Amino acid sequence: MTRPNRIEIVEVGPRDGLQNETEHLSPAERVDLIEKLALAGLKQIEAGSFVSPRWVPQMAGSDVILESLRDRDDLRLPVLVPNMQGYENARAAGVREIAVFAAATESFSQKNINCSIDDSLQRFEAVCRQALADNVRIRGYISCVLGCPYEGEVDPANVVRISRDLLQLGCSEISLGDTIGVGTPDKARALIEACATEVGIDRISAHFHDTYGQALANILACIEAGVTTVDTAIGGLGGCPYA
């Protein structure tokens, strides 16, 4: 397949990159980071998370970040929301785009958010319904699409089904995450081809961790398969505490 002539970058460093760091940046420092990323030319920057600071203290003050950047109409600044309370807090801070999440395996879903995959999707029904009513864009994440720390290899059919479910909830884009970095170019390409049939290649974003040095090769394979949106994290920051 011919490679696309343009790639959209979604920079997730200020959220996904920082959420597992032992040193916590203040909201002001995170605003400064986002401003500098924007100055470098990035237009889509994940700004924070409205998960309880008791669980993810690194993301405390995400409301301050959104309020500080409220006038940046030139930027897309999605934030992760875990439930309706998180959505309402984000909405009060002026959010225009949110992200919701699911896992590709039952074991990871239980470890990460203490519920099954289907239950997690049901939890987001009210959130997505309200977001759509508020004209707030929704991005969907799926973790462990190419491997799970508890179950090993993942059936691509599971990823396809969850992708379809997220689209039905109202997600405009699905980010497929190789959370533990075990993917290979061949497996990445096969997954993209399977999902593209059901989801549409223009709605897929590639999200790879570089645990075994395969991220760039996997991203290239996805681009060659037609993907035009890629998640990145400044300085290679990132990782999941449950992986």
User: What positions carry a catalytic annotation?
Assistant: 240
Give yes or no for a contact between 150 and 108, defined as CB atoms under 8 angstroms apart: yes
Nearest to 239 by CA among 29, 9, 22: 22
Query: Packing angle between helix 106-113 and helix 117-133, nearest 10 degrees?
Result: 60
Helix, strand or coil for residue 109?
A: helix
- Neighbouring-strand partners of residue 230: 9, 206
User: Which DSSP state fits 238?
Assistant: -
Other CB atoms within 10 Å distance of the CB of residue 175: 25
Evaluate whether 121 touches 141 at the Cβ level (below 8 Å). Answer: no
Residue type present at position 93? A
Residues in the chain: 243
Q: Indicate the SS3 state at residue 235.
A: helix
